[in-house]
């Protein structure tokens, strides 16, 4: 999807912060993903036009970074850390339980991620990049369920508050 | 045990839950250091304060901060300051805390650094997953502009400084300083060959200094207490305090800011409460996933960067201390770390791209009961294509950045400390299979 007029305005403000336009690429990708729940080919084409580069260059960069999702739109991204400090605190079971519980829901992506830098609270997961320490598999599933039902507010799928 | 923290950089955020606000920051002496620094010449800030303090980079490499600044070629402008907040080294969580807990301290420190190196544009690259941290740092920057600590004519000194908070998007290798610059330029975060070093050709091929978040957060305190006073803290060439992130099987995991020179035992047992559930320690990792492991026998060694590198064949790295109890399978930990490196290898250098994948495959089968007798030596053999001399510390490398040699740390650690255990699991006799010369 193209940017809304408001977001296009924000995109131009972001570009103006940098000595060279192309530096705005990562922030603009976040902005598009927050708006649409994914990075559509249309959005990448618009970003290319704004930055004066080819769409394939945008794709080449977007595909390098794990936070950018290019397959289809989603409402929730659940990132379960399974690196060692979480691993030895039961992260494997947490990931398995959450992945299984929401496997049938197209709007939810459950992914295994590398260290989220919150190891004092291990095991941890993020829902749309909001941090949560979890007590165990059941607690983790219950937490994601609260987001799914809308009892907890989820921000954009790339953190949402990241760009103003 | 009566070891205590020495809180300098973490003091405000430990004492005040609202330390991230400008009101609290100003009420606790904030931006006083910037005012003072602006009354000195830039060279005086660099030489008489920062170089005199002995401050070394807190990101992992431990290079002298003042020295790094001094490499900028004179008279070449524009030049840039980049703050590295892409904290991704497994089990390091100090910068995350500093960014969320005390963002103005980073803004002030970055402003001091930018003034000292003569830069008028500074970038704070923050890991994309730190959504709250990015929000708080962006707000802090906006508040600093409004209050006259950034922008035109900072504090009436005539010095101008623009500051931009830049979100990453999930790439460990962007934490390498040249990988970070590639990313900040809007590219894939692939590291660049050095030389030219960033000080000569960095961001947009202009002279650039890249400093870690904790490093710049320390600068206001060096200005306030004086570089010489700061240098009296710590031990040897490891001056001052550092924040260590302790996690794993300990009673009180967390960030502890301590004066360098205390022992691993003080940190792990004294502060973090030791191994939990009445168990014993099997091994610990002293400086992030990239550092070779140590045993309980090493607990009385001091937290001294040079000592650890020269005498213990490992490094303090990013300050991430991971502790594992007696029931931990070292092969499983090694495999998980290998999987991390294989996932994060950017693919630019063949030894790392291919080697990290093969290490992951071989360690997977060892960790899952399908190891072959020759597997450990097989890994040491092909690992020589990444690290030609495994006995050297720090490792030498055939790759552009340090991710390549880091992949060998778990393997070397298994060989050093758990060789018999691994060979027995793989059903081998104890004969060492000759390693093919590189």
pLDDT of res. B429? 57
DSSP code for A22: G
> Tens digits of per-residue pLDDT, B371-412?
998 999 999 999 999 999 998 888 899 999 999 999 999 999
Testing the interface with B: which of A28, A38, A85 to mutate, by most B Cβ within 10 A? A85
Chain B residues within an 8 Å CB radius of A22 = 185-187
Residue A19, min C-alpha distance to chain B (Å): 9
DSSP labels for A55-121?
HHHHHHHHTT-TT---S---SEEEEEE-SHHHHTTTHHHHHHHHHHHTTT-TTEEEEEES--S-GGG
Average pLDDT value for residue range B58-75: 96
Among B96, B168, B162, B82, residue whose Cα is nearest residue B126: B168
Testing the interface with A: which of B121, B167, B169 to mutate, by most A Cβ within 10 A? B169
**Could you give the C-alpha distances from B144 to B103, B104, B126, B139, in angstroms and in order?**
11, 8, 18, 8
Residue B248 has pLDDT above 80, yes or no: yes
Residue B310 has pLDDT above 80, yes or no: yes
Q: How far apart are CA B364 and CA B183, in angstroms?
A: 31
Residues B94 and B152 sit within 8 Å (Cβ to Cβ): no
Is A88 within 8 Å of B248 when comparing Cβ atoms? yes
Fold of B235-325: Ubiquitin-like (UB roll) (3.10.20)
Q: How far apart are CA B295 and CA B354, in angstroms?
A: 30
Average pLDDT value for residue range B254-282: 97
Kindly state whether B247 is in contact with chain A, defined as any CB-CB distance less than 8 angstroms: yes
Contacts with B355 (C-beta within 8 Å, 6 or more apart), sequence order = B382, B383, B385, B386, B404, B407
Is B188 within 8 Å of A61 when comparing Cβ atoms? yes
Among B258, B132, B241, B14, residue whose Cα is nearest residue A116: B132
Q: Where in chain B is the domain with CATH 3.10.20.600?
A: 235-325
Average pLDDT value for residue range A118-126: 95
Residues B166 and A30 sit within 8 Å (Cβ to Cβ): no
- Point out the least confidently predicted range of B59-63, B238-242, B252-256: B59-63
The count of other CB atoms within 10 Å of the CB of residue B382 is 17
- Among A24, A117, A130, the residue with its CB nearest the CB of B93 is A117
SS3 B115: helix
Kindly state whether B347 is in contact with chain A, defined as any CB-CB distance less than 8 angstroms: no
Q: How far apart are CA B422 and CA B432, in angstroms?
A: 13
Joined tokens for residue B168: 């990453």
Chain A residues within an 8 Å CB radius of B336 = 82-84, 87
Average pLDDT value for residue range A22-35: 96
**Could you give the C-alpha distances from B141 to B14, B43, B99, B290, in angstroms and in order?**
22, 25, 12, 33
Q: Could you tell me which chain B residue has the CA closest to the CA of A85?
A: B248
- Point out the least confidently predicted range of A49-53, A150-154, B193-197: A150-154
Average pLDDT value for residue range A70-92: 95
pLDDT range class, residue A77, cuts 50, 70, 90: very high
The share of chain B scoring above pLDDT 90, in percent, equals: 94
- Among A27, A61, A120, the residue with its CB nearest the CB of B253 is A120
Fold of B12-232: Rossmann fold (3.40.50)
- Among B93, B121, B184, the residue with its CB nearest the CB of A119 is B93
Q: What are phi and psi of A69, to 5 degrees?
A: -110, 120
Average pLDDT value for residue range B139-153: 97
Q: Kind and range of the H or E element at B430?
A: none
Testing the interface with B: which of A39, A69, A115, A121 to mutate, by most B Cβ within 10 A? A115
> Tens digits of per-residue pLDDT, B94-119?
999 999 999 999 999 999 999 999 99
pLDDT of res. A154? 81
Is B91 within 8 Å of A158 when comparing Cβ atoms? no
CA angle B370–B376–B382, rounded 5-degree value: 115
pLDDT of res. B435? 57
pLDDT of res. A161? 54
pLDDT of res. B281? 98
Q: Could you tell me which chain B residue has the CA closest to the CA of A126?
A: B129
- CA-based torsion, B408, B414, B417, B419: positive or negative: negative
Residue A142, min C-alpha distance to chain B (Å): 22
pLDDT of res. A159? 73
pLDDT range class, residue B437, cuts 50, 70, 90: low
Q: Where in chain B is the domain with CATH 3.40.50.11540?
A: 12-232
Residue B431 has pLDDT above 80, yes or no: no
B330-428 maps to CATH 2.160.10.10? no
The pTM is what? 0.95
Give the pairing of strands B238-239 and B241-248: unpaired
pLDDT range class, residue B438, cuts 50, 70, 90: low
- Among B185, B246, B248, the residue with its CB nearest the CB of A23 is B185
Q: How far apart are CA B152 and CA B133, in angstroms?
A: 26
Q: Where in chain B is the domain with CATH 1.20.1440.230?
A: 330-428
Chain A residues within an 8 Å CB radius of B173 = none
- Give B 167-206 residues with CB within 8 A of chain A: 167-172, 183-189, 204
Q: What residue spans of B185-329 are helical by DSSP H?
A: 213-225, 227-231, 264-265, 305-311
Residue A164 has pLDDT above 50, yes or no: no
């Amino acid at each position: 999807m193209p940017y809304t007029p408001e977001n296009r305005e924000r995109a131009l403000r972001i570009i103006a912060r940098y000595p060279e336009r192309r530096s705005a690429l990562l922030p603009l990708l976040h902005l598009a993903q927050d708006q649409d729940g994914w990075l559509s080919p249309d959005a990448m084409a618009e970003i290319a036009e704004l930055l004066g580069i080819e769409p394939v260059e945008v794709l080449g960069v977007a595909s390098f970074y794990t936070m950018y999702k290019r397959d289809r739109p989603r409402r929730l991204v659940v990132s379960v850390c399974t690196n060692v400090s979480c691993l030895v605190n039961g992260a494997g079971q947490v990931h398995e339980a959450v992945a299984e519980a929401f496997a049938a829901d197209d709007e939810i992506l459950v992914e295994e991620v590398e260290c989220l830098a919150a190891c004092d609270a291990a095991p941890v997961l993020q829902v749309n990049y909001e941090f949560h320490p979890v007590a165990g598999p059941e607690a983790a599933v219950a937490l994601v369920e609260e987001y799914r039902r809308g009892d907890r507010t989820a921000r954009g799928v790339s953190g949402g508050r990241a760009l103003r | 045990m009566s070891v205590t923290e020495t809180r300098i950089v973490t003091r405000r955020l430990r004492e005040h839950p609202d330390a991230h606000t400008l009101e609290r920051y100003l009420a606790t002496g904030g931006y006083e250091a910037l005012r003072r620094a602006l009354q000195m010449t830039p060279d005086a800030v660099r030489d008489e304060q920062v170089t005199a303090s002995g401050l070394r980079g807190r990101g992992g490499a431990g290079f002298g901060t003042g020295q790094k600044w001094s490499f900028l070629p004179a008279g070449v402008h524009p030049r840039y300051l980049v703050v590295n907040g892409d904290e991704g080294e497994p089990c390091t969580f100090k910068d995350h805390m500093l960014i969320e807990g005390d963002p103005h301290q980073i803004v002030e420190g970055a402003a001091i650094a930018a003034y000292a190196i003569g830069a008028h544009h500074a970038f704070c690259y923050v890991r994309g997953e730190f959504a709250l941290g990015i929000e708080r740092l962006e707000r802090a920057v906006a508040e600093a502009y409004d209050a006259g600590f950034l922008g035109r004519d900072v504090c009436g000194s005539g010095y101008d400084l623009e500051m931009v908070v830049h979100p990453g998007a999930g790439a460990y290798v962007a934490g390498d300083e040249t990988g970070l610059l590639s990313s900040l330029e809007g590219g894939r975060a692939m590291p660049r060959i050095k030389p030219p070093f960033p000080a000569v050709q960095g961001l947009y091929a202009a002279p650039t200094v890249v400093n870690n978040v904790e490093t710049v957060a320390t600068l206001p305190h060096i200005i306030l207490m004086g570089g010489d006073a700061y240098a009296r803290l710590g031990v040897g060439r490891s001056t001052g305090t550092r924040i260590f992130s302790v996690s794993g099987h300990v009673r009180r995991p967390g960030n502890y800011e301590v004066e360098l020179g205390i022992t691993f035992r003080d940190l792990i047992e004294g502060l973090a409460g030791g191994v939990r559930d009445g168990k014993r320690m099997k091994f610990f990792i002293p400086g992030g996933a990239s550092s070779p492991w140590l045993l309980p026998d090493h607990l009385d060694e001091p937290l001294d960067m040079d000592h650890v590198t020269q005498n213990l064949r490992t490094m303090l790295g990013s300050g991430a201390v991971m502790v594992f109890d007696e029931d931990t399978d070292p092969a499983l930990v090694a495999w998980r770390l290998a999987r991390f490196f294989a996932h994060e290898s950017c693919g630019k250098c063949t030894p790392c791209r291919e080697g990290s994948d093969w290490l992951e495959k071989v360690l997977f089968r060892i960790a899952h009961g399908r190891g072959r007798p020759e597997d450990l030596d097989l890994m040491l053999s092909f690992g020589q294509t990444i690290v030609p001399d495994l006995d050297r510390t720090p490792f030498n490398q055939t790759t552009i950045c340090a991710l390549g040699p880091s992949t060998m740390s778990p393997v070397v650690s298994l060989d050093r400390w758990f060789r018999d255990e691994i060979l027995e699991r793989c059903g081998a006799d104890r004969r060492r299979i000759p390693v093919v010369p590189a």
